[in-house]
Amino acid sequence: MRVQMLGLCRFSYLGLRGYQVEHDSIEARRAYLYDPDRLARRWLWFTTVALPGWLAQTDPDFTLVVMTGPDLPEPWLGQLRALCDSVAQLRLSLVEPMDYHLQACRAAIAPHLDPQADVIGHFRHDDDDAVALDYVALTRRDFAQVQGLWQAEGKLSLDYGRGLMMEAREGQLRFTPRICHNMGVALTVFLPPQAEQTALHFNHTKLAQWMPGVQISRPLMFIRSIHGDSDSGDMGPGLPWKPEEGSINRLLRQRFGLRRGALAALSRQLL
């Protein structure tokens, strides 16, 4: 069975819906999203936290669509173009503001669907979060073990629940190990190729309304960032787990290809 892993990452996409921070007009939304200081911070999060894991996936057979507006200011639009031109797995999608955010997400994803695939593994990824280096490989492996559930209903979610909450506040960095249910990062929604939905069409906190789901609590699979520019600054419900003493730095390196020193420097830059 051919599984296409297809993700969507919104980088300051100019739309009125689809986010928890709301604005009354497109002008107010544009002023907020395109503020130069904010864009500089988002680029730092994207390149320091999110990007390393995608550049070093052990299974390179995936596509990550980076969605933004055609009027994204320079130098960030040019930098996104150059990045996506240089990385085979990245695709830049420039989508005009649309009345409905989910239609915009579908417009971004649709050109990149593989017509030869039997099933599409849709995932969403925020530009300040991270997935482990083997996320794609383990998702494909674990789906093979439960694909009968997908075949029965044509929809299935596969959630990796073990993660690190990374808080960057007032120049300080703090990690909280948590096991969460359908956090949204490292969560894959498997749909038929002809389906009109993407991962964004399903509220990740209510997935059981639409499909069966499987959660896998090992290994450590995601980092969720919480900071002043977060769309949601709430850590949300979850269970604690305790890494071996002194192992956070090692886990950052081995699971995500990240260095704690670089992350700490990032948190200090955000002051």
Residue 70 contacts residue 96 (beta carbons within 8 Å)? yes
Q: Which of 19-23, 31-35, 118-122 has the lowest mean pLDDT?
A: 19-23
**DSSP-assigned letter for residue 57:** -
CA distance 87 to 54: 10
CA distance 243 to 240: 10
User: pTM to 2 decimals?
Assistant: 0.95
Six token digits for residue 2? 């051919």
Residue with tokens 């989910």: 102
Alpha helices in 57-114 (DSSP H): 76-86, 101-109
pLDDT tens-digit readout, 156-172: 999 999 999 999 988 89
Residue 132 contacts residue 255 (beta carbons within 8 Å)? yes
Share of the chain above pLDDT 70, in %: 94
* CATH number, position 89: 3.90.550
| Average confidence (pLDDT) over 50-54 | 98
| Average confidence (pLDDT) over 77-81 | 98
Q: Dihedral of the CA atoms 23, 27, 32, 35 (nearest 10)? A: 180
The pLDDT of residue 148 is 95
The pLDDT of residue 98 is 87
Six token digits for residue 211? 């499909």
Domain containing residue 146:
3-269
Q: Which of 170, 200, 166 is nearest to 48 (CA)?
A: 166
Q: pLDDT-based confidence at 16, cuts 50/70/90?
A: low
The number of folded domains in the chain is: 1
Q: pLDDT-based confidence at 236, cuts 50/70/90?
A: confident
CA distance 143 to 13: 31
The pLDDT of residue 269 is 86
Q: Which of 140-144, 177-181, 230-234, 245-249 has the lowest mean pLDDT?
A: 230-234
